[in-house]
Amino acid sequence: MISSTALGNTGPRVSRLGLGAMGMSGMYGTADDGESTATIHAALDAGIDLVDTGDFYGSGHNESLIGRALAGRRREDVTLSVKFGGLRGPGNTWGGVDTRPESIRNFLAYSLQRLGVDYIDIYRPARLDPDVPIEDTVGAIGELVEAGYVRHIGLSEVGPETIRRAAAVHPIVDLQIEYSLISRGIEAEILPLCRELGIGVTAYGVLSRGLLSDSLRTDPTLAADDFRAHSPRFQGENLRQNLNLVEALAALAARHGVSVAQLAIAWVLARGDDIVPIVGARTVARLEETLGALDVHLSADDLATIAAAVPDTAVAGERYAPAQMAQLDSERAAVGS
């Protein structure tokens, strides 16, 4: 059985790995609902009890998929983490973020319906809304906590000042943010602050969207509907340079008798019990590979060797395109703006 850990000082206990469902709604190319459902069931059966989604993933498709997959399961056996506020248009266009209190109540009503539940375990704005003070957003979610529709409040991709302001309004159980061997920006300020305030970290992108795996080493071709085809780290010379880093990681993985992905996940797991990797397995086979990371034990020397072989300073390209990077409160804080 998978071990568990508490999310922050005030959050629920969850499995040491979480399942991220975004890729089940087409972000990485075509996905199969049948295989996705089988993967969710396999994750739950293996002891993964944290399932992460967003109401805008597939314009509601992702929540509906999860709702169908959870039908017949005991509600208390699953911790549902839901991001809200992302606005989608026809053709999967992006319309910014809306976290006004009246919008939050509207988003939540639809999420409850699609998921087939009467409460959300952890509810969080997907991004900081530049037009709405974080105090107003967190305060509105706090009212939903009091009403019983939400159990806990989380944050996503915000910087130190926003974290402090949010925590002053209501207990925050976790910050969801990208963290991987080649995306270590949170280590300077954000992670220490979360630890100071007793806030857990749910880390997404631990495989850097599949870059830290064996899949692109053998075939770096991306489908036109795969959003990575437009991501800086996956384009041209950037991809070639980054795959050289993956080769270095592959050599270390071979020494441990594990896959590149397993070593990358194990590295994040080893960074602290307060960090829970959210891994976006889309198939049962990928899920089984992911679970193998729990059996990889890394010493302090191992961690240092891995970090030195794959320095994040050698990564080519930002983790998002410029327009998206500009919307990340976490990144603005990192550069002092």
Catalytically active residues, by annotation:
57
Rounded CA-CA distance 18/321 in Å is 26
List the one residue out of 52, 14, 48, 115 whose CA is nearest residue 284. Answer: 48
Number of H helices, E strands in the chain: 13, 12
Contact 27, 16 (CB under 8 A): no
Measure the CA–CA gap between 28 and 234, rounded to whole angstroms.
Answer: 13
Q: How far apart are CA 63 and CA 54, in angstroms?
A: 7
Where do the DSSP E strands lie in 222-300?
Answer: 275-279
Contact 55, 105 (CB under 8 A): no
Contact indicator for 259, 265 with CB cutoff of 8 Å: no
Closest by Cα among 152, 194, 198, 156 to 12: 152
